Chain A
């Protein structure tokens, strides 16, 4: 016995997501992404690529904005319609089709948001031309920001699937954000178990990718103190920022793995929740 296949249900939910996006005026999230990008650039723009610390902080601020935008896109998406999902599950809904339709739709939303964020950053900040893989810096920054926003969005979807109500999801959101920020490795040096937890955060891999593209390990990028004391030079470099193709692909791949992992958890949690429906 089979229900109409998951593949056939995905377009149904894609169309529904689009209608709800328009009817609920969720397009405001796209404008919010632009405003956040603008604010972040206004704060960090002038100092980026002047010193190592300023550049790292600037990247960190942009990544934090991307994570916030992504999670905020989807944190209430699933939890507010658990009753509807249960009812539709009884009427032959494939949970995988439901989640995948959300992920595909959010792909488009995140694509636009990442494009806006990248565009605003490039307008405001004088990004160096250094690139690693694609022959130009812009597409590499764009892909990285897109993956950060999309992976965070899917992480938000996962939290939303696990949460029983929008209140629970919104309570979990700050913890998720703090975890992401703390685990980036920028604010604190990570050691022990924290190092391993960092592997499942978008911030760590986002920092690695941006640090790699922006060449944070460039010996010519001075430390803040070096401006006053030129004899102070950087002796150690963060291997996570090595400007190599491997570093960049590892970071992108890890972000995609986070997307995959969160998708699986979202689907499983909804299946478990609805197993008696």
Chain B
């Protein structure tokens, strides 16, 4: 099935699109999520509440509804994005709220004494953050972070229902051409398993890197 009628080309393009979409959204989610986490732990109450509301809204809204808002809502106010950029925006904002919570709780796992010791040694805020807090928080964050980024590629399938030509939409196209659903399902499943295995492997290597012992 996969190697007939140029199906392979279609399938490969869909696979690459899924990877591309996941990677772009991951970068956006990481940046935005870290920024939000910084807001959530900041000493300024306004910023804290902003981040809290953001997380409350995006964590509790279905991703599909976000896709709806981006695809049909934004053009109403004259914001015209390509389907791909819209999908990155929806996926990124959604995932960022999860990243924010993980980073925040990671920072909270670092004992206060660590930072106090650093400050009493005369370290500045930046030094304390970069050399003391983040390396320790990083270890606590890796586990939950890997779940988030394994979930991201599978969440990206929703974009297929909103006109991004990724794996799910390839499956739909081929299914319309009359191929058996089980055969299609097998190949698509294999592709997603590869992606999630790759992400899992990357995180495992990060975890095993010699880092600060606790």
A and B, one complex?
no
Residues of B within 8 A of A (CB): none
